[in-house]
Structure 1
């Protein structure tokens, strides 16, 4: 007995719809397998997306660190120039030359100070400040009664910070308690 094409198609449909049929290759098992694969790919895509977000954050952080490092190196060079201008304006050197030259150097210094201030750079380290090891680098302790102990008495080089972060500490001398002259070796027991 030969079956017509229509009868063959109907038998295949009936076989696919038979209850409890979970044999390999059946539409139900194929659907379940496709769903498992879909879920695996979804998890994989979420991991790849999270990895990419983390990569972008890391690259942004590294770029910002590089910029800060490059800016710091440039600022330290400019601060050295500023120190030279300060030195040129101090002492006998500024008195022994034409005052127009001195005013020109002062104008250059003001312009450089203004440019640095525009970038968030500020100087600190004046005499009379309380010594702070985070801001100052003490190069000498000077016994004196004129200032309280641990007070800056002289600034050798200004300190600078940018947006609150110290980029160069101030080099300073600080006051120390004067030696007690009343305690002589003859009176000690």
Structure 2
């Protein structure tokens, strides 16, 4: 019986030893699993930090681009305002020269009472003004021998005329002008209506 008990005791010890080894192996595996999880967690944390840094970098780049665009828009608005403000500067410089010539002519003819020279000076100034207008793309609208066109002419008077056909322009009362093809002032005309 002592032998049986020893055998039983050895079996129990073997079993306990096996269970202890299993438990130790399980603990080692759990320790290794925990280490792996910690390692993966650190890797994921690093990736998250990297992505957050990248997102912040993109956000800052976006904000800089947005600020650049706002500055660009303000600069373009200011340039457009300056352009509108001084658009007529070139033309007005030329007109001022014509006005200077006209003033000199009036002053000279007032002193000498030479009205023929005054008329000649006015004609020269008028010629200078027409030159300025041509340089800037302003042209007179033709009316003589033309049919009435509501896009170019404004009928102020309508009357029957045996010498003209219906809608013929009989007389130009005030010249009309186009600027580079666009009507800026229609011609005021007398039109034949039958």
TM-score tier, shorter chain, comes to: 0.5 to 0.7
How far apart are the structure 1 equivalents of 2:180 and 2:83? 15
Does 2:59 correspond to 1:40? yes
Of residues 155, 158, 172, the one that matches 1:155 is 172
Q: Secondary structure at the match of 1:19?
A: helix
Q: Distance in 2 between matches of 1:133 and 1:20?
A: 83
Shift of 1:64: 4.4
* 1:12-62 alpha-carbon deviations (Å, 9 max, x no partner): xxx9xx6312589x4332211101112222333344444444444545555
Is 1:20–2:40 an aligned residue pair?
yes
Deviation larger for 101-110 or 150-159? 101-110
- Note if 1:175 corresponds to 2:192: yes
CA RMSD of the aligned region, Å?
3.6
- Structure 1 unaligned regions, length at least 5: 1-14, 79-96, 178-189
User: Within 2, Cα distance between the matches of 1:167 and 1:66?
Assistant: 20
After the TM superposition, which residues 128-167 of structure 1 pair with which residues of structure 2 at under 5 Å, given as runs? 128-167=145-184
The structure with more helix, counted as a fraction of residues: 2
When Rg is computed on C-alpha atoms for both structures, the one with the higher figure is 2
Query: CA separation in 1, counterparts of 2:85 and 2:187?
Result: 25
> For residues 67 and 165 of structure 1, what CA distance do their matches in structure 2 show?
21
Q: Once superposed, which parts of structure 1, at least 4 consecutive aligned residues long, lie more than 6 Å away?
A: none
Change in Cα spacing, 1:158 to 1:175, as seen in structure 2 (3 Å) is same
* TM-score for the superposition, normalised by structure 1: 0.57
* Alpha-carbon contact 1:161-1:168 (below 8 Å) kept: yes
Q: What is the TM-score normalised by the length of structure 2?
A: 0.56
Would the aligned equivalents of 1:128 and 1:151 in 2 still touch at CA under 8 Å? Answer: yes
Cα distance change on mapping 1:22 and 1:32 into 2, 3 Å = farther
Aligned residues: 140
Give the aligned partner of residue 4 of structure 2. none
Question: What is the match of residue 104 of structure 2?
Answer: none
- Pair 36,125 (structure 1): closer, same or farther in 2 beyond 3 Å: same
